[in-house]
Amino acid sequence: MTGSRRRRNGTMKIRIPSLAGGASLLLVASLAAPADAPTFAVAAGTKVRKTFTESTSWSVTSLTQRTNGTDMPLPPVDMRGRFEGELVLSDEYGATEDGRLRSLKRTVERAEAAIDAELETDGASEEHALQLESPLAGEVVLFDWNAERESYDVALESAGSAREWLEFLQEDADLRTALPPAGTEEGETWSLTTEDLTRLLHPGGSWSLWPTGLPDGAYQFVGVEEVLATSLLAVSMLDAELSGEGEVTWEETREVGGAQLAVLALRFELEADRDAGDTFEELLVQAGHESSREDLGLEIDWSLRGEGELVWNLQAGRFESLELQLESEIALVMRWLESYGDVEVEAEIEAELEASTVLAARVGGN
């Protein structure tokens, strides 16, 4: 994928799950002439409600347990789970000058997720459920462009205890990094960088989802640590070391309800790795679990492929909907020390997983 953009040869077909999204246009937008190409051009004073959802199903394809470096026999294990997340934002836009949004008022209506995990072995099974929520849920976040520092000043409208989480936020929850360079025409293709893809997959930045308590369920075969580790599979990639590339093709422009909608087809590949030991320990504290495991460490590697469709409203100057299908291969290694009297044992669990994810976004709705 070289060069800033190019014209496609033939027609690229992408088959993905469908998510319809739409919103009534403001009168001022409905009277304005649509832009010639997808650009971000939301009028000052416009309010847009956005809903982002993630649905991930995963299963363990390989599981190895070691003690002091020696593989230990394990019975056949079937372990699988689901992650369902939802982020609802209501954005009120300030003025845009020289292509830069100067101010934004963001109400975080909802930022939560649920994890369900199930394990079967030797004819027995156990299930666990975990709820996650962002400390920023219900807060109003203000973004103001600081020209001197060339970055946004971020603050809460009220004096809340969630201020410490603001540093992980970004003003862009508009999927703008997928937009084409100036002068792009319908039928052409352009490239996406690793940073572009990171922002695209994490609208608004990191929302710091933390468990609201310990996972439900009886623990016969796995510990609290193993169940909590699954939550990091879905929410920690933002802080990982990412590498990859993608491309976008402006496939067509269609008219729906009087609105001109540009259809942008996306394809990308990403690899990521992260030493999540510190975050994992903090996760255990947030869940209220005192682990007997010492020097607990967690390493996660991802290999991810994605494709999908971004629909851009040329008249309103914003996205209309997003649909992405992701396939991932994940390697997870957990290490710790266990003490049995005067004897200290090095323990390790290595798991390989496969995951399928549907990421979707839409504007409007309740």
Write down the pTM of the prediction: 0.83
Question: What pLDDT, on the 0 to 100 scale, is given for residue 27?
Answer: 29
Which residues does 114 contact at the CB level (< 8 Å), separation at least 6? Answer: 83, 84, 85, 129, 130, 131, 132
Six-digit token string for 35: 């832009």
**β-strand 124-133 against 151-156: which pairing, if any?**
unpaired
Long-range contacts of 70-74 (CB under 8 A, 24+ apart): none
Question: What pLDDT, on the 0 to 100 scale, is given for residue 297?
Answer: 84
Question: What pLDDT, on the 0 to 100 scale, is given for residue 234?
Answer: 55
Rounded to 5 degrees, what angle do the CA atoms 55, 171, 42 make? 95
Give all strands (DSSP E) within the chain, no chain letters: 5-7, 47-67, 70-72, 77-93, 96-97, 100-101, 103-121, 124-133, 140-146, 151-156, 188-192, 210-211, 241-256, 259-275, 294-313, 318-340, 343-363
Burial class (CB in 10 A: 0-12, 13-18, 19+), 164: exposed
Question: What pLDDT, on the 0 to 100 scale, is given for residue 14?
Answer: 25
Question: What pLDDT, on the 0 to 100 scale, is given for residue 16?
Answer: 24
| 184 CB neighbour count, 10 Å cutoff | 19
Question: What pLDDT, on the 0 to 100 scale, is given for residue 247?
Answer: 98
Give all strands (DSSP E) within 140-240, no chain letters: 140-146, 151-156, 188-192, 210-211
Question: What pLDDT, on the 0 to 100 scale, is given for residue 216?
Answer: 67
Which residues does 190 contact at the CB level (< 8 Å), separation at least 6? Answer: 4, 5, 6, 180, 181, 184, 247, 248
Distances (CA, A) of 262 to 174, 185, 302, 358: 15, 11, 31, 21
The span from the CA of 315 to the CA of 311, in Å, is 12
The span from the CA of 272 to the CA of 202, in Å, is 14
Q: Are 91 and 172 spatial neighbours (Cβ–Cβ below 8 Å)?
A: no
Burial pattern 313-330, b for ≥16 Cβ within 10 A else e, equals bbbbbbbbbbbbbbebeb
Give me the tens of pLDDT residue by residue for the chain, a chain 366 residues long. Answer: 434 444 433 322 222 222 223 332 222 333 344 578 999 999 999 999 999 999 999 999 998 989 998 998 888 888 899 999 999 999 999 998 887 899 999 999 999 999 898 888 877 888 888 898 999 999 999 999 999 999 999 999 987 777 888 998 999 999 999 999 999 999 999 999 999 998 999 999 988 888 887 766 655 556 667 766 766 665 555 556 789 999 999 999 999 999 999 999 999 999 988 887 777 777 777 777 777 778 888 888 889 999 999 999 999 999 999 999 999 999 989 888 888 888 888 989 899 999 999 999 999 966
Helix (H, G, I), strand (E, B) or coil at 83: strand
